Amino acid sequence: MSTSSSETTTSPETPRSAKTSRIPKVPFWAQILLGLALGVLFGWLAKSGDISWLGATLAKIGEIFVQLLKLAVAPLVFFAILVSITNLRQVNNAARLATRTLLWFMVTSLIAVAIGLAIGLITDPGSGTGLTAKDGGLPKHTGSWIDFLTGIVPTDIITPFTQLNVLQIVFMAAVAGIAALQLGEKAEPVLKISRSVLELLQKALWWVIRLAPLGTLGLIGNAIATYGWNLIGKYATFTVDIYVGCALVLFGVYPLLLSLVAKVNPLQFFKGAWPAIQLAFVSRSSVGTMPLTQRVTERLGVPREYASFAVPFGSTTKMDGCASIYPAISAIFIAQIFGVHLSIGDYVLIAFVSVIGSAATAGLTGATVMLTLTLSTLGLPLEGVGLLMAIDPIVDMMRTATNVAGQSVIPILVAAKEKILDREAYARAAAIDLDGGTVEEADRKVSVPVPAGAN
């Protein structure tokens, strides 16, 4: 009796499942490209046809998407950093791994800022723009070395979360993580809750990530509808410089390091990491992309215990696009507009600020604070920041994509040098389907084993 009942309940589902399986599934990258194309089209229609309601709709769609990403930033950063620090105790030579990670961050930042300076000196982005000092304005948020150093320590534990001061959140999370390491088993109940909260936040953020195609439509459409093509023309050289500089790092420096240092195929990296790079380009948020960045990094063979430290750490400090290429070219651009001559010593200062002050960008949308930090160190007028605010959303997309790629590349380099990289997982990363199923289902499809010696 139970057998026939089972047959009657399951048999009608069979043709329905077969029918459903024949429906073609659009890959995530194709959804993003479709959103990009529709955004450009609708933005152009709103601008050329002066369709105010369409422009307002595009702006609201993009605003909601970014707001959803920002909603999870503060708790995500805190619990990700806290848990990642405690996860290091599961890895042999944790101190050496952390040190090597930081050193590679600094090395690649130096390379990126050198590329930015070279491009700026060759192209003279500030000449022939028609812009003058009067076109600039003081930014709402500025940065200085005093503010940077004293601003790391919060005055209370609530304000950093309400005002989204990521640097202070990182500080508190690091202190809590180190304290948990010292307490050992006594801190386990708190860590268990922290891991559960982190998984919950990542799950919720994954739903937001799935809205990226719609967010792309709104963000790109709003940029075109608001600024049009004329404004881009004034900043043509500057915009091209940023994109070329980031492209040289993204498609030149990183593949070279992967090939020479990690001894792996760079094409496999892009096949595996492309979903995270793509989302970063659209969302303009390293922290918002962090769960996806960590997932693709693990699937590229980096042990989870190490990736769960390196990726959150990199999401708040590893900014080759925002903190190296962008301030280098921007400083040259602003100096030319204001008629200020930069010396060799000034270029050295730019490199110093890029390496040491990159944490000021803190993985958030935009790099205004980092730029003001650079300008104040060089003694350049802060009004120059106002010259770049209009074009910032357009250049920020490429900057953030470069940031996120670097946040995945460095753990691969370090893992390869430490002989804990799973090269088989790296080789098959291209076959991973990030579009189908839930987060848990996707994670079960490919399990990245930790090689001997990693625990």
The tens digit of pLDDT for each residue in 365-420 reads 456 667 777 887 788 877 777 778 777 877 888 999 999 999 999 999 999 999 99
Low-confidence ranges of the chain (pLDDT < 70): 1-24, 29, 91-92, 129-151, 227-234, 357-369, 430-455
CA torsion 365→333→352→250, rounded to 10°?
A: 60
Question: Rounded CA gap, 182 and 166, in Å?
Answer: 24
pLDDT of residue 361: 58
* 171/269 Cα distance (integer angstroms): 31
Quick one: CA torsion of 51, 40, 56, 165, rounded to 10 degrees?
Answer: -160
For CA atoms 123, 128, 129, 134, give the dihedral sign.
Answer: positive
- Grouping H, G, I as helix, E, B as strand and the rest as coil, residue 138 is coil
Helix axes 73-87, 166-183, angle to 10 degrees: 30
Taking the C-alpha atoms of residue 238 and residue 246, their distance in angstroms, rounded to an integer, is 12
Find the Cα–Cα–Cα–Cα dihedral 375, 377, 381, 382, rounded to 10°. 60
Supply the DSSP symbol for 39: H
- Find out whether 313 and 177 touch, Cβ atoms under 8 Å: no
User: Residue 17 has what pLDDT?
Assistant: 45
Question: What is the Cα–Cα distance from 408 to 426, expressed in whole angstroms?
Answer: 12
Which residue stretches of 249-341 are H helix?
Answer: 254-260, 266-283, 286-299, 304-317, 326-337
pLDDT of amino acid 143: 54
- Cα dihedral 416, 316, 284, 408 in deg (nearest 10): 10
Residue 157's alpha-carbon distances to 171, 182, 363, 412, in angstroms, are 11, 21, 20, 34
> Angle at CA 284, nearest 5°, toward 283 and 290?
75
| Contact (CB, 8 A) for 376 and 349 | no
Name the amino acid, one letter, at 428.
Answer: R
pLDDT at position 181 is 85
C-alpha 108/C-alpha 112 separation (Å) is: 6
Q: How many angstroms separate the CA atoms of 105 and 358, rounded?
A: 10
Residue written as token pair 């993003």: 32
Q: At 340, which amino acid appears?
A: V
What pLDDT does residue 187 have?
87
Tokens of 374: 């650079």
Dist CA 442 CA 318 (whole Å): 27
Rounded Cα–Cα distance for residues 95 and 98 (Å): 5
Token couple for 110: 């130096």
pLDDT of residue 96: 87
pLDDT value of position 264: 95
pLDDT at 305: 84
Pair of tokens at residue 319: 């900014």
H/E segment holding residue 147: helix 145-150
Nearest to 170 by CA among 182, 179, 162, 161: 161
Residue 153, Cα to own-chain centre: how many angstroms?
24
Contact present, 294 and 439 (Cβ < 8 Å): no
Q: Which two tokens stand for residue 329?
A: 């070219």
CA distances from 13 to 10, 21, 318, 327 (A): 5, 12, 50, 59
CA distance 353 to 371: 10
CB 288 within 8 A of CB 443: no
Distances (CA, A) of 89 to 32, 181, 416: 38, 8, 19
Helix axes 392-417, 212-234, angle to 10 degrees: 120
